[in-house]
Amino acid sequence: MLINPEEKALIGRVFETYLTEHHRNDIHQLITNTNEDTHRSVVVNAMTLFEANMEVGDYFNAYPKDVLVVFDEVLQKKALELADDASLKDKQGSIQRSKRQIYHTRITGLPVCPELTRHTIPRSRDVGHFLSVTGTVIRTSVAKVLEYERDYMCTKCHHVFKVQADFDQFYTFVQPVGCPNPVGCNSIKFTCLSGGSEPAACRDYQELKIQEQVQRLSVGSIPRSLVVVLEDDLVDSCKSGDDVTVYGVMCLRWKPFHDGSPCDVELVLRANNIEANNQQAAAALLVRDVQKEFEEFWDSCKHNSLAGRNEILLSLCPQVFGMYVIKLAVAMVLAGGVQRIDSSGTKVRGECHMLLVGDPGTGKSQFLKYSAKVISRSVLTAGIGSTSAGLTVAAVKDGGDWHLEAGALVLSDGGLCCIDEFSSIKEHDRISIHEAMEQQSISVAKAGMVCKLNTRTTILAATNPKGQYDPKEPLSVNVALASPLLSRFDLVLVLLDTRNAQWDCIISSFILEDRGIPSEASGLWSMEKMKAYFSVIKQLQPRVSEEANCILTRYYQLQRQRDGHNAARTTIRMLESLSRLAEGENRFQSWTI
């Protein structure tokens, strides 16, 4: 340990006082909790702790590993003291249960400064520092159980001592170099007491790979990745596709040395705490003042709900002039419907899928980019170069083990997947997303791994027609997409670049002189407000009334009976799509249900 006993005692006293003042109730709740979790955590705000004593903050920045060990020891001691008090009431039950628990100090809320908070992958100069790193989880390994401690006995003096597994060498046990007996035994021969039997001390272990967020990178940069090691109760705390902030110590890791083999050293982040940002964002938006603001907005428009709807549509993708029908369609798809489970237990998806077919320059990509920004969990990709593994899931071999690496549809589970140039995806790769669109899952049978992954995502796709769009030809011929795939889209809109002198003049003025910007430009909703609105309305659970069901059923029947109807679109899926779109429009337009 790099800190001396006096410094250790100072840190222990300060932290114990801090726990007593700020986390006494938290510890007491953990003690009285009746679940069987062995590892329990107390989340400590670093800013509050450092304000109590700046000297402890200096020690923490200089020697984070040693200080975290002191924090855990003090927390364990404090928990036992509180358990002693509780045991007077329940006849020793609490203290016996508490002695079996292991308590961990989880750090959060680091000061926002370049030295401690990173949005890019740290370098080798950051080794040994405690950092918070923000990124997107692109791979999660299976949870494993590792032995982290063994008992050794000196063959000369029979002194028994414990040896910790070396994290820097992939949890291998290094043979002790000398007997640690304080009497002064100089023996170098030892016997492992747990050799040949089951491991005595094990912990849960998992590795993640996080990638830099693309929107935070500079121009021309390729996102880099970093391995994150999770231990104990942090295992399985996030999944692929989550935007996370990881708090931990940067470490170097290498394989044990062998003669003639090169030393391969890698940077890893040993996590102390991990927070899923997309879950935080969704919870933070659902606060009373935000809900109250939207309720007041719809109360002011209750006599003319269409005016309120149009005001929101003005703020949706404002860089595109007009096209309010397209904007309304995008808003309905982003709002989505409600998932239903019938009497037999079959799930009917609530997410809507939309396909924009149009000539070049009609604003399709602008709608996709804006939608990816307004939905907190989203993936934007292009069809050119996308394979079935890139869209669904890939099996990757790393360190002798096979791992599943999530593709675009799995990463956007619970959010939005935008696919530009949809028709550019190869035919055999396009077939792989059929199951993902309708059943909302992907069946995987790769490298000996057989499983199902959820793809509960809304797909917003855009494509160009095959040559000049011919209204006389069926849609499947114009876009060169098979009927089974087209029938899975709830909404297909065709955008044609018609020659209209008056419209061309208005668009030219809007682009070149900004004359076309609405006079209510100052009242446009900001991107953050639009994000909050879509997050809030997704919590609503509208139901289609009997009268609305009759209208939808009659419309579906008329479409089926119409001469020249498109067989690729007028399937039974069309009726389900009408119900989902009605619920999406109700979510988007009506705040009070």
504 pLDDT above the threshold of 50: yes
CA-based nearest residue to 410, from 427, 435, 385: 435
272 pLDDT above the threshold of 80: yes
What is the rounded average pLDDT of the residues 241-261?
81
Helix (H) or strand (E) holding 443: strand 441-446
Task: Evaluate whether 318 touches 565 at the Cβ level (below 8 Å).
Answer: no
Residue 493 — very low, low, confident or very high, per pLDDT cuts 50/70/90?
confident
Q: What is the pLDDT of residues 400-437, one digit of tens each?
A: 677 777 788 887 888 888 888 887 887 777 777 888 88
The Cα 455–Cα 451 span in angstroms is 13
515 pLDDT above the threshold of 70: no
Predicted pLDDT of residue 247: 92
Predicted pLDDT of residue 49: 84
The Cα 578–Cα 584 span in angstroms is 10
What is the rounded average pLDDT of the residues 531-539?
81
34 pLDDT above the threshold of 80: no
Task: Evaluate whether 27 touches 79 at the Cβ level (below 8 Å).
Answer: yes
Predicted pLDDT of residue 92: 47
CA-based nearest residue to 348, from 159, 580, 118, 151: 580
Predicted pLDDT of residue 195: 64
5 pLDDT above the threshold of 60: yes
**Amino acid found at 117:** T
184 pLDDT above the threshold of 60: yes
Predicted pLDDT of residue 516: 47
Q: Which two tokens stand for residue 110?
A: 């680091």
Task: Evaluate whether 140 touches 210 at the Cβ level (below 8 Å).
Answer: no
Predicted pLDDT of residue 57: 82
Task: Evaluate whether 103 touches 168 at the Cβ level (below 8 Å).
Answer: no
Q: Which two tokens stand for residue 291?
A: 């809900």
More confident residue, 513 or 493: 493
In sequence order, what are the residues at sequence separation of 6 or more whose Cβ sits closer than 8 angstroms to the Cβ of residue 569?
475, 486, 487, 492
Phi then psi for residue 220, to 5 deg, are 85, 0
User: Which of the residue ranges 3-17, 261-275, 276-290, 459-473 would you say has the lowest mean pLDDT?
Assistant: 276-290
More confident residue, 65 or 303: 65
The Cα 412–Cα 392 span in angstroms is 10
Angle, in degrees to the nearest 10, between helices 5-22 and 54-62: 120
126 pLDDT above the threshold of 70: yes
Instruction: Please give the mean pLDDT across all residues of the chain.
Output: 79
Query: For the chain, how long is the longest CA-to-CA vector?
Result: 99
Residue 361 — very low, low, confident or very high, per pLDDT cuts 50/70/90?
confident
Q: How far is CA 64 from CA 119, 130, 320, 586, in A?
A: 20, 6, 51, 52
More confident residue, 36 or 5: 5
Residue 570 — very low, low, confident or very high, per pLDDT cuts 50/70/90?
confident
Q: Mean pLDDT: which of 75-84, 186-195, 199-208, 350-359 is highest?
A: 350-359
Half-sphere exposure of 41 (CA within 13 A, CB side): 17
The Cα 38–Cα 15 span in angstroms is 23
Predicted pLDDT of residue 181: 79
CA-based nearest residue to 244, from 280, 295, 296: 280
183 pLDDT above the threshold of 80: no
What is the rounded average pLDDT of the residues 314-333?
85
Predicted pLDDT of residue 100: 65
Predicted pLDDT of residue 347: 77
**Amino acid found at 461:** A
The Cα 553–Cα 547 span in angstroms is 10
Residue whose entry in the numeric block shows the structure tokens 């990509």: 365
